[in-house]
Amino acid sequence: MKYQNLIIAHRGCWDKKAPENSLLAFKHCIEHEIPIELDVQLSLDEEVVVFHDKNTFSMTGVSLMVEKSTFCELRQLKLSSSAEKIPTLKEVLELVRGRVPLLIEIKRGRDFALLSRKVYELLKDYSGDVMIQSFDIRVVWWWKKKTNYLTGLLVSSNRHLQSVFYYPIVHSVFVVSNLLKVDFVSVDFEGLTSTFISKLRKKKIPIFVWTITKLSELESARSYADTFIVDGLGKKLSGK
């Protein structure tokens, strides 16, 4: 898979009728030939579900903790004001069938190794381009040691959202390039021009940037990043 100038739809090509991380949002990506970024975590009964937040309230109006709810309970919820429901990773893979690349973010959770193993098992029979990313260095380590999938580390430039100990670890060029040996680093737009990212670029480590919401941001990011994770721009940039 080529990194250069790759545009990826953040949680699919979502809009008012097609909620983020829904099968309909992913169908739009397939129609417009746009790679998909999506999030996975485990339900209480260990189903790999595609959902971003730890709690379902913001997307469904019902407050359930994803990891403390069974898939049956989660499946009863509707995403936003649509008829779309929380999908499983298996359903997404069956829908996409290799027609567009996938960038799967493995969320932090109660058992990173179990989630990683279950995702890996689901991908064994899948033929298509897949990349893995996570904020959790344990997840990145697991995928780099046990699989051949391209795996990247997600980093945030916001110190206040991270532990005082964790931030310097994931912003260490030595840790990222020599210990984790990541295939790419995915950074927020605000951190794109940091010294840390500049040093990684000198080491020829591909840089992904999230989340681009304006064409002006995309243009300014082109000088610093190789791949662009966009919100609401996918259809406009697809040429279809």
Residue 232 has what pLDDT? 81
Counting beta carbons within 10 angstroms of the beta carbon of residue 58, is it exposed (0 to 12), middle (13 to 18) or buried (19 or more)? exposed
**Domain membership flag for residue 1:** no
**Domain membership flag for residue 95:** yes
Number of independent structural domains in the chain: 1
**48-50/36-42 β-pairing:** antiparallel
pLDDT band at residue 239 using 50, 70 and 90 as cut-offs: low
Residue 95 has what pLDDT? 98
CATH classification of the domain holding 201: 3.20.20.190
Structure tokens at 69: 């709810």
**Domain membership flag for residue 107:** yes
Q: pLDDT exceeding 90 applies to what percent of the chain?
A: 90
Q: Please compute, for residue 51, the number of CA atoms within 13 A of its CA located in the half-sphere on the CB side.
A: 32
Structure tokens at 91: 């359903």
Neighbours of 81 (CB within 10 A): 10
Q: What is the pLDDT of residues 16-60, one digit of tens each?
A: 899 999 999 999 999 999 999 999 999 999 999 999 999 999 999
The answer to whether residue 237 scores a pLDDT higher than 80 is no
**Domain membership flag for residue 195:** yes
Instruction: Give the amino acid at 94.
Output: E
Residue 81 has what pLDDT? 84
The answer to whether residue 238 scores a pLDDT higher than 90 is no
Q: Which domain range does residue 219 map to?
A: 6-238
**Domain membership flag for residue 17:** yes
**Domain membership flag for residue 155:** yes
The answer to whether residue 107 scores a pLDDT higher than 70 is yes
Residue 161 has what pLDDT? 85
Mean pLDDT of the 152-167 span: 93
- Which residue would you say has higher pLDDT here, 210 or 5? 210
Average pLDDT, the chain: 95
Tell me the pTM.
0.96
